[in-house]
Amino acid sequence: MNNKQTSIFAVLFVLALSISSDQSAWRVQAENRLAEPQATHLLAAMPRDFPPQYAVDENGRPYGFAIDVMNALAEQAGLTVEYQIHENWQDVLNAIRTGQADLIPNVGITADRQKYADFTAPVETFSVSLFVRHETESIQSVEDLAGYQVGVIKGNVAIKLLADKNLKLKHFDQLSDALIALLSGQIDAFAYPDPVVWRYTQQLGLDDHIRKISPSLKEIKRAIAVRKGEPLLVKQLNQEVDRLISSKRFKEIYSRWYATPTPYWNTQRTLLAMSLLVMLVASSLLIWRFRSLQKLNQRLISETEMRRDAETQLQLLNADLEETVRRQTEGLAEAQRMGKMGSWLLNLQLDSLEWSDETYRIFEVDPERFEATYEIFLETVHPDDRERVNNAYLGSLEIQQDYEIEHRLLFADGRIKWVKEQCETRFDTHGLPIISRGTVQDITERKAAERQLALTQHALDHISEAAYLMKPDGRFRYVNPAACETLGYTKEELLKKTVMDIDPSYSTEGFLAIDRRLAEAGSMRFETTHQHRDGHTIPVEIVANHIQFEDEEYSFAIARDISEIKSAQLEIERQRTLLQQVIDGVSDPILMIDTDYTVQLMNHAARAAAPAKALASAQPKCYAISHHIDHPCQGEDHPCPLNQVMQSKQTVKVVHKHPGQDGATRTFELLANPLFDEHGDITGIIESGRDITDYLSVVEQLRKNQHRLDHIAHHDPLTGMPNRLLFVDRLQQAIFKAKRSNSMVALLFIDLDRFKQINDSFGHPTGDQILKEAAIRLKTMIREVDTIARVGGDEFTVILDQIDHTQDIVKIAEKLLGAFTQGFKILDKELFLSSSIGISIYPQDSDDPNTLIRNADSAMYKAKELGRNAYSFYTAEMTSLALERLMMENSLRKALSMKELVLHYQPQIDIRTGRIIGVEALVRWQHPELGLLPPAKFIPLAEDSGLIRPIGEWILRQACLQASKWRDQGFSPQRISVNCNLSAGQLNSENFVGGIQAILTEAGIEAGLLELEITETTIMNDPEHMSEIFNRLRDIGIKLAIDDFGTGYSSLSYLKTLPISKLKIDQSFVRDIPADPDDMAITRAIIALGESLQMQVIAEGVETEAQAEFLKAEGCYLAQGFLYAKPMKSEDLDRYMTSVQTDS
């Protein structure tokens, strides 16, 4: 037996081991493509196992070339097919012969079969041939087979063709059985259709082990066999056969089942090649064993018992071969796992894909749950790479070339793997792809390393500092772009240089010495100078590290250009010198202090106050400089400004006492400002100190004076009780407390009955004594938590706080009435008087302090009406007054449109000459029912209701128009200067100044003829806004005066900044002159204040000559009042001014 025969014999065992599993795999691989739903229109008979024409998978579903053709024809014709599966051809033919089936798909046309079946047009033409072993050269024709064993398949047409050839026919159930018998020597030849034999042997890799005998036995056509009596069905199928054969689909079906592959040798990578080498060695051993076995068979071929022994040896060899294959398979799988390289095989004809275990692991697919498919593969490919990968594979099929590609896999959890794919494809003689084989390797770690290396290179290339890698001899191995840019060389030029070429301070020996020190230390930092290509030098800071790589030593250095730093240092030193000169010019001590209390900078003043010991220190501390102590400041008396600034990160102001060189202690106000670095962190403080010892002395004196003035401003000078201002404030506080505690507040308004008679009869001194005594008695009648105040001549008010029941108020009111049952002993007289008390309650009567006072005042008058010496609660009677107020407001809204408002004018007189210096415009309301009403009756209402703005505008317009008339009548400008009062509502209106300008333009008079009067309270409600408005009014020429000066509260320091030209003394201070010394004192103070501020002063309400003489004597020369003229209509004032002008 020759070598080729031995090889055939070895392959025989591989075939025997794999034939069953191969057929099973063939069925599974084609399952998804060939399965069709069962139908009921046509019944088709078929054998169970005659591939590739007919076959049945593990689920009982048919597939194969004939099945694909039949399904395609049925789909074209709109038919459905149900397949009857029979175990052999005889049963299939009997089914159509007896009418159990309608047809047989794609069966050979023979004369016998035409007796019981009609055939369609041929679907395919094929040859039936004889096949022998390749090495059997003695058999060249059918005649040479005489006396030889020839295998045939049961029911196959070859049986008929060989019936008359005088051959020994041996019948087999399946082609695989006949092929095994041929290769094992049990038969000498077998007969079967050519395309089926070649297809089957090529898939098993046995096509080079058999040979076809020419010529073929016969050429036979295959067609659809239809049972007799169905001509219409035959006609219909004929039409569909013609359509199908000329279609692309038929070519695909034929290519899928009959395409002939070309010889193929796998070109796996080295890892697979090594594995195959192991298999080849094992195969050689097997061949040797097969040779021995063959010799034994030749010796014992004639003896049956020895044949049985040979068969036993073959079985043992088969088991040994299986174990060898198993070990080699496991070794290959382990090699793939270790190399992270899997393999795959794509059968394009069976449309099946096989993956190795390592491929499943790489793609993270469970082989027990998912079948490997090309679609699963593409789904795992990263979406951005999917089209490129698919095109690479399809392109390799188109150009019939192998391909290699690297791409990414994207998993459900977001992870990415990199893989390298290699693929080779086998094509048939027609250029159609049959099988693609390939490998896939996980290169994720390599990609990560490549990316890390690229990132490192990128980082070095893009850092702003110059980077150099040098050998110990100073030659450069790497320079980055920053190094080239810094020195002015290209990369190629610089790599030819050495360290000595760019650093003029180094000699070869010097650099070697530095390199040795670097090798010992590991890293160094120092400054040196590099030389640019054009010759100029660059100061640099070097950070160098010693590196050892693969037995070679290198130095890696980063060179930072510090030219700007050097320049900045010089500039800092220059600025430091300048700063020292600047702060030395400041008389207050200045220190720049670090966070550790070290003084970095101080001026001459601080140095002069510091002790010599502190100055002698190299790092003097702030506490030693300023306090002459050896520890930081602490405690409430000397809080450390540095610590406070570091905690708050804000400017801090503290007061310290510092010892002087003369031993005296001085008080300093220290202002500490934080110093921040570029990160916003505090690096220290700037501390400036100011000696405020003398200032504090003055402030203390002023504080005492202010306290005294505050007491005067808030207390009655006669009784020492709170005055109206303080009383209203305490009433407001009591209301706030009552709101929180849900309690009541009672306000008692007390008026002394017939006090005016006593005052007029016995004089003011007696009246004052009674008021003092009355104050003492009233104060003893109330609780400590209550407040009593004198708010007028003989008027007192009491606040009863924390009241829960009205009865408590009654008890106190009765006690207060009882305070006057005893007489007042004044000198040798005993005087008796009583009191009347009005009571209002929060919250029943109001929650506004002034309203409560008014309500209590109203109730007090009710008590007087009851006969005096009584008390009265504010009642519903006041509601009618509120209704009256509402009606008054409605009437006031109509007053402008009904022309009910009129202006009266009161002259303002120069006391010295009697001449008119101006007039004050005073509005009156000619009420249709109530008659002529003064402004006090309706102006507050106008302010509360918002009508003050249109009324005020009307007053200004009418007054300016009247001034224009007087000017036209020939009166001098001084006599026609018009004064108008302004309210806060007018001043806060939009475009107030523009409105006045428009009125002046409309009237045609100069701004200097108009003077506006504003109260103190109005100014101080919003001083900044008022200052802005006053300045604008002054700028256009309007004069400004403060009305009712002294009755409100204003800041004199602020007052002097306003463009005020005149102060008006309130008539309440003038009324009791010369009888009231307090009023006289206040009036003198106002006059003096006006004189000091260079303002005119005018007194209101002058009614007596004595008042006029007092004012004149004190330096107030301007006045208005009933002594000179009452307010009058414009036409009356015309006559008055004419008479005064004539008198003058």
- The CATH T-level fold of domain 584-691 is Beta-Lactamase (3.30.450)
Mean pLDDT confidence for 1065-1089: 90
Least confident of 121-125, 163-167, 846-850: 163-167
Binning pLDDT at 50, 70 and 90, where does residue 289 land?
very low
Q: Is the pLDDT of residue 879 over 90?
A: no
Task: Detail the DSSP E strand segments found in 641-764.
Answer: 652-659, 665-676, 682-691, 744-752
- Cα 255 to Cα 63: distance, rounded to the nearest angstrom: 15
Residues near 596 by beta carbon (within 8 Å), at least 6 away in sequence: none
Answer with the residue of higher pLDDT: 335 or 979. Answer: 979
Beta bridge partners of 83: 44
Nearest alpha carbon to residue 442 among 469, 421, 463, 411: 421
Give the homologous superfamily in CATH for domain 947-1143. EAL domain (3.20.20.450)
Question: Which residue in the block uniquely carries the two structure tokens 């006006």?
Answer: 1090
Helix (H, G, I), strand (E, B) or coil at 728: helix
Least confident of 279-293, 636-650, 994-1008, 1066-1080: 279-293
The Cβ of residue 887 has, within 10 Å, a number of other Cβ atoms equal to: 11
Q: pLDDT (tens digit, 9 = 90+) per residue, 512-549?
A: 888 889 888 888 999 899 989 998 999 999 999 998 88
- pLDDT for res 201: 80
Within this chain, domains 584-691 and 947-1143 share the same CATH topology:
no
Give the homologous superfamily in CATH for domain 3-258. Periplasmic binding protein-like II (3.40.190.10)
- pLDDT for res 2: 43
| Share of residues in the chain with pLDDT > 70 (%) | 86
Q: pLDDT (tens digit, 9 = 90+) per residue, 912-970?
A: 988 898 999 999 999 998 899 998 888 877 876 778 889 999 999 999 999 999 888 88
Nearest alpha carbon to residue 889 among 933, 842, 942: 942
Mutual angle of helices 3-34 and 304-339, in 10-degree steps: 60
Name the token pair of 331.
Answer: 């070794």
Q: Is the pLDDT of residue 450 over 80?
A: yes
- The CATH T-level fold of domain 714-875 is Alpha-Beta Plaits (3.30.70)
Characterize 1131-1141 residue by residue with b for buried, 16 or more Cβ atoms within 10 angstroms of its Cβ, and e for exposed: eebbebbeebe
Least confident of 159-173, 379-393, 406-420, 1099-1113: 159-173
Helix (H) or strand (E) holding 53: none
Question: Which residue in the block uniquely carries the two structure tokens 């009247």?
Answer: 962
Binning pLDDT at 50, 70 and 90, where does residue 641 land?
very high
Q: pLDDT (tens digit, 9 = 90+) per residue, 14-60?
A: 333 333 333 333 333 333 333 333 335 899 999 988 778 888 988 88
Nearest alpha carbon to residue 119 among 222, 240, 243, 250: 222
Q: Determine contact, residues 732/853, Cβ cutoff 8 Å.
A: no
Determine whether domain 270-447 maps to CATH 3.30.450.20: yes
- Cα 922 to Cα 916: distance, rounded to the nearest angstrom: 17
pTM score of the predicted model: 0.33
Binning pLDDT at 50, 70 and 90, where does residue 872 land?
very high
- pLDDT for res 852: 94
Q: Is the pLDDT of residue 1143 over 50?
A: no
Helix (H, G, I), strand (E, B) or coil at 644: helix
Alpha carbon of 408 to those of 355, 392, 421: distances in Å?
Answer: 18, 14, 11
Residue 153 sits at φ, ψ, to 5 deg, of -95, 135
Q: Is the pLDDT of residue 149 over 50?
A: yes
- 463-561, which class in CATH? alpha beta
Name the token pair of 316.
Answer: 């043992």
- Cα 262 to Cα 249: distance, rounded to the nearest angstrom: 23
| For the chain, domain boundaries | 3-258, 270-447, 463-561, 584-691, 714-875, 947-1143
Among left, alpha and beta (phi > 0; psi -120 to 50; other), residue 155 is left
Q: Is the dihedral of CA 150, 156, 158, 164 positive or negative?
A: positive
Mean pLDDT confidence for 65-80: 91
Mutual angle of helices 231-245 and 248-258, in 10-degree steps: 80
Nearest alpha carbon to residue 107 among 50, 57, 161: 50
Alpha carbon of 39 to those of 43, 78, 244, 1024: distances in Å?
Answer: 8, 11, 21, 101
Characterize 332-354 residue by residue with b for buried, 16 or more Cβ atoms within 10 angstroms of its Cβ, and e for exposed: bbebbeebbbbbbebbbbbebbe
Mean pLDDT confidence for 324-352: 67
Q: Is the pLDDT of residue 270 over 60?
A: no
- Cα 60 to Cα 42: distance, rounded to the nearest angstrom: 18
Specify the length of the chain in residues. Answer: 1144
Nearest alpha carbon to residue 359 among 381, 375, 344, 374: 344
Average pLDDT, the chain: 83
